[in-house]
A and B are shown apart, each in its own frame.
Chain A
Amino acid sequence: MAALGNRVAALGRIRLLRSSVFIQCRYSNTLPEATVEKHRKSKLAQDPEESETESLVAPRDYKYVYPEFLPDPKPQYRDRIREKLEHEDMFRRRTVLKIPEFYVGSILAVLVSDPYAPGKKNRFVGICINRSGHGLRSQFTLRNVVDGQGMEITYELYNPTIQGIEVLKLEKRLDPHLFYLRDALPEYSTIPFDFEPVPHPPGATIPVNPVKVKLRPRPWHERWERQDLQGLQDLELPERFYERAREVAKPWEKYDLMKQYRESINDDDAAKIMGYVYKKIQELEKTKER
Chain B
Amino acid sequence: MAASMMSWRLSVSLRCGQSASFQQLDIFARVLAQPHLTQLHITRGARRTCKAAPWLSKRTVDHKLNEEVLTTESKEFLKNVAIERFKERMANSPLKDAPAERHQWTPKSLRTGVLAIKLGVIPQWTKDGHRFTCTLLQVLDNHVVRYIPPEEFSKYPSFKKKWRKNIFGSLVVGALSTDPFKFSKGYNNLCAKVGLPPKRKLTRFLVTPDAAVEPGTPLKATHFKVGDYVDCQAKTIGHGFQGVVKRWGFKGGPASHGTTKWHRRTGNIGGGRNKAAVWKGRKMPGHMGMEWRTLKALKIWRINTKYNVLYVMGQNVPGPVHCYVRVMDSRTLFRRKERIQRPPHMPTFYPEDVDEPLPEEIFDEEMFKFTEPSITFTDKKDK
Q: In the assembled complex, which residues on chain A have CB atoms less than 8 Å from the CB atom of B254?
A: none
A46 to B177: give the CA distance in the assembly, Å: 8
A29 to B238: give the CA distance in the assembly, Å: 11
CB distance from A157 to the nearest CB of B (A): 11
7 CB-based A-B contacts, threshold 8 Å: A42-B141, A77-B120, A78-B321, A81-B138, A85-B304, A96-B370, A96-B373
A92 to B237: give the CA distance in the assembly, Å: 34
**Inter-subunit contact B323/A113 (CB<8 Å):** no
**Inter-subunit contact A160/B374 (CB<8 Å):** yes
**Inter-subunit contact B321/A79 (CB<8 Å):** yes
Q: Which of B286-332 contact A (CB under 8 A)?
A: 290, 304, 307, 309, 319-324
Determine whether B23 belongs to the interface, using a CB cutoff of 8 Å to chain A.
no
Q: Give B129-160 as 1s and 0s: 1 = Cβ < 8 Å from A's Cβ atoms.
A: 10100001010110100000000000000000
- The listed residue (A26, A95, A137) touching B371 by CB distance below 8 A is A95
Given contact pairs A44-B86, A160-B125, A85 touches B319 in the complex (Cβ within 8 A): no
A136 to B123: give the CA distance in the assembly, Å: 6
CB distance from B91 to the nearest CB of A (A): 14
Q: Give A22-54 as 1s and 0s: 1 = Cβ < 8 Å from B's Cβ atoms.
A: 001111111111001001101111100100000
Given contact pairs A45-B177, A79-B120, A89-B370, A163 touches B140 in the complex (Cβ within 8 A): no
Q: In the assembled complex, which residues on chain B have CB atoms less than 8 Å from the CB atom of A44?
A: 83, 86, 177-179, 197
**Inter-subunit contact B143/A46 (CB<8 Å):** yes
CB distance from A113 to the nearest CB of B (A): 5
Beyond A42-B178, A113-B129, A113-B376, 5 extra complex contacts between A and B, CB < 8 Å = A27-B323, A76-B321, A92-B369, A120-B379, A161-B374
Q: In the assembled complex, which residues on chain B have CB atoms less than 8 Å from the CB atom of A45?
A: 140-141, 176-177
CB distance from A35 to the nearest CB of B (A): 8
Q: Give A73-103 as 1s and 0s: 1 = Cβ < 8 Å from B's Cβ atoms.
A: 0001111011001100110110111000000
- The listed residue (A36, A43, A158, A161) touching B375 by CB distance below 8 A is A161
CB distance from A165 to the nearest CB of B (A): 11
Determine whether A114 belongs to the interface, using a CB cutoff of 8 Å to chain B.
yes
A246 to B119: give the CA distance in the assembly, Å: 43
A92 to B140: give the CA distance in the assembly, Å: 25
Given contact pairs A33-B322, A114-B377, A162-B374, A27 touches B237 in the complex (Cβ within 8 A): yes
Q: Which of B354-383 contact A (CB under 8 A)?
A: 368-379
Q: Which of B85-128 contact A (CB under 8 A)?
A: 86, 117, 119-120, 122-125
- The listed residue (A42, A120, A135, A163) touching B378 by CB distance below 8 A is A120
* 3 tightest Cβ-Cβ pairs between the two chains A and B: A92-B370, A44-B177, A30-B323
Given contact pairs A44-B83, A85-B136, A29 touches B304 in the complex (Cβ within 8 A): no
The tally of residues in B whose CB lies under 8 Å from a CB in A reads 52
**Inter-subunit contact B324/A30 (CB<8 Å):** yes
Given contact pairs A30-B320, A32-B322, A85-B309, A40 touches B375 in the complex (Cβ within 8 A): no
A28 to B307: give the CA distance in the assembly, Å: 25
CB distance from A121 to the nearest CB of B (A): 8
**Inter-subunit contact B238/A82 (CB<8 Å):** no
A93 to B322: give the CA distance in the assembly, Å: 28
Query: Which residue of chain B is the closest to A32 with respect to CB atoms?
Result: B322
- The listed residue (B124, B178, B238, B321) touching A28 by CB distance below 8 A is B238
Given contact pairs A39-B200, A113-B377, A135-B122, A160 touches B141 in the complex (Cβ within 8 A): no
Determine whether A219 belongs to the interface, using a CB cutoff of 8 Å to chain B.
no
Determine whether A159 belongs to the interface, using a CB cutoff of 8 Å to chain B.
yes
Q: In the assembled complex, which residues on chain B have CB atoms less than 8 Å from the CB atom of A46?
A: 141, 143, 177, 218
**Inter-subunit contact A163/B374 (CB<8 Å):** yes
Q: In the assembled complex, which residues on chain B have CB atoms less than 8 Å from the CB atom of A97?
A: 374
Q: In the assembled complex, which residues on chain A have CB atoms less than 8 Å from the CB atom of B179?
A: 44
Q: In the assembled complex, which residues on chain A have CB atoms less than 8 Å from the CB atom of B123?
A: 136-137, 156
Determine whether A5 belongs to the interface, using a CB cutoff of 8 Å to chain B.
no
**Inter-subunit contact A29/B235 (CB<8 Å):** yes
Query: Which residue of chain A is the closest to B142 with respect to CB atoms?
Result: A46
A30 to B304: give the CA distance in the assembly, Å: 23
A153 to B177: give the CA distance in the assembly, Å: 50
Determine whether A251 belongs to the interface, using a CB cutoff of 8 Å to chain B.
no
**Inter-subunit contact A26/B136 (CB<8 Å):** no
Determine whether B240 belongs to the interface, using a CB cutoff of 8 Å to chain A.
yes
CB distance from A151 to the nearest CB of B (A): 21
**Inter-subunit contact A25/B125 (CB<8 Å):** no
